[in-house]
Amino acid sequence: MSLEIKVPPVGESITEVTLSAWKKQDGDQVEMDEVIAELESDKATFELTAEKAGTLKISAAEGDTLAIGAVVATIEEGGATAATADKAPAAPVAVKDEPAKAESPAAPANAPAPAPEQGGSSSLEIKVPPVGESITEVTLSRWIKKDGEAVEMDEAIAELESDKATFELTAEKAGTLKTIAAEGDTLAIGAVVCTIEGGSAAAPAKPADAPAGNVADAINESPQASPSKGTTYASGTPSPAAAKILAEKGVDPAGVSGTGVDGRITKGDALSAQAQSQKPKVESQKPATAPASPAAPAGSRTDRREKMSSLRKTVAKRLVAVKNETAMLTTFNEVDMSPIMELRGKYKDKFKEKHGVGLGFMSFFTKAVTEALKEWPAVGARIEGEEVVYSNFADISIAVSAPKGLVVPVIRNAESMTLAEIEKAIVVLAGKARENKLTIDEMTGGTFTITNGGVFGSMMSTPIINSPQSAILGMHNIVERPVAVNGQVVIRPMMYLALSYDHRIIDGRESVSFLVRVKQLLEDPARLLLGV
């Protein structure tokens, strides 16, 4: 008996992925839920796991581009031959639940996949999948489908949240959903979240040779498969960012019309709905603001409690640990931004026309930091046990404010990149951060961090080190101030810079010299291009 392992649906707009690496080799024995391969889309990298124990038979090679639903490999149990696998129905769930029918040579190749489950006697457990080597538990943040609803195979049924990312849990077969875990529960990897009972009577039979993962088309062809959602299961379903906004403001998604793909509720829809929903609330409170007694307080005095997200709890623990475990100190300086502002004003239009991205301040600061790190490598070092590790490269972490909290994606080998390449990398990483699509690899391994509190109006701050790094540079807002230049008082656009560092491995001479070097490079940006 064999089971086909197919490319799972990984997003509404993703139609194909690349098989980047095999974790197991052809003929290896694998355990259920063991990672066997790594797949890569244009938005994220994720792992493919074995759906049962057995012998792995590889069908696709590393580097292959595969459509959603394409067969990647088969898992054979008890030395089953490839000929046996060829006779099995195309639906992998049917093979798992009905082994006797999978081995029947009389089964036609184009038999409907849901047919073995119409009796309603089979049940499939849906478990928390592995989502990363360092992640042992997740939080069930939201049920997309409700208990007792009919679901289609590969349809999103719930949202799970780890301390680093948010992802969707999909149905592994069609049937009736029976929820086990509740919203807000913390679940270990491999824990049972729900079960799918039998087959959905309202869902039409789907041929085995139909393209896998095309759930929206199947629902469009049969409106009764989703009577409350309209044309597709995505209709009226909020994105993770939109769901958070609606939940915070107490707005029911059922009353919000989506403008996204297939009617999905976007972040913009959620913000608009929030504004509209607050209007009647304000009007209803107006009579209460004019009580008979002047001593009565005006306005609402209610509290609202929210459970901390896994990401927020992790950030809190790490920040407290850094304060307690490092000898953190901050040194300050200021930089005259007029040379960079004049350079941007002169070339920004030509720069965007040639490279397709705007010329911002962050690329200048990133480049200045990489040059200063070459002269003062201790600032980019880290402590591991009783050793100090120095890196001959500069992986610069850029702090970004995302909907679910602060994230710090990394620009790899920034020391060898041009200003245009740095700007492009920042645009890509910041976009992924705002859409909660950053992978774990994109947020780990930096050697130095830059944070820009100036975009929110901060004049001066003492940023906290991003462990296990040893230093972080804080940018602030640009304010015109009177300064003395060649004995004359002039008005210049000035910015305060703050360098927080771990005094255990970085001395005052190194920290101050590093910050002065960054100041010199920014006030004379030609040095960045000439490397002097």
Pick the closest to residue 370 from 392, 343, 390 (CA basis).
Answer: 392
HEC per residue, 273-327: HHHHHHHHHHHHHCHHHCCCCCCCCCCCCCCCCCCCCHHHHHHHHHHHHHHHHCC
Let me know if 355 is a catalytic residue: no
Contact 369, 446 (CB under 8 A): no
Torsion of CA 426, 432, 435, 436, to 10 degrees: -120
Question: Would you list the DSSP string of 359-400?
Answer: --HHHHHHHHHHHHHHH-GGGG-EEETTEEE--SS--EEE-E
Residue 28 structure tokens: 């290896």
E strands, 458-517, where?
471-475, 478-485, 488-502
DSSP bridge pairs for 2: 76
Tell me how crowded residue 35 is: count the other CB atoms within 10 A of its CB: 15
Catalytic residue among 209, 349, 507, 524: 507
Let me know if 507 is a catalytic residue: yes
For the chain, the first-to-last Cα distance in angstroms comes to 68
Q: What's the burial of 392, exposed, middle or buried (CB within 10 Å: 0-12/13-18/19+)?
A: exposed
Stated as kind and residue range, the H or E segment containing 512 is helix 508-523
Helices (H) and strands (E) in the chain, counts: 12, 27
Contacts of 483 (CB under 8 A, 6+ apart): 336, 489, 490, 491, 492, 494
Q: CA-CA distance, 350 to 238, in Å (whole number)?
A: 39
Contact 463, 498 (CB under 8 A): yes
Contacts of 330 (CB under 8 A, 6+ apart): 462, 463, 498, 499, 500, 501
Q: CA-CA distance, 117 to 119, in Å (whole number)?
A: 5
Catalytic residue among 209, 217, 349, 503: 503
Q: What is the distance of C-alpha 42 from the center of its chain?
A: 13
User: So which residues are the catalytic ones?
Assistant: 503, 507
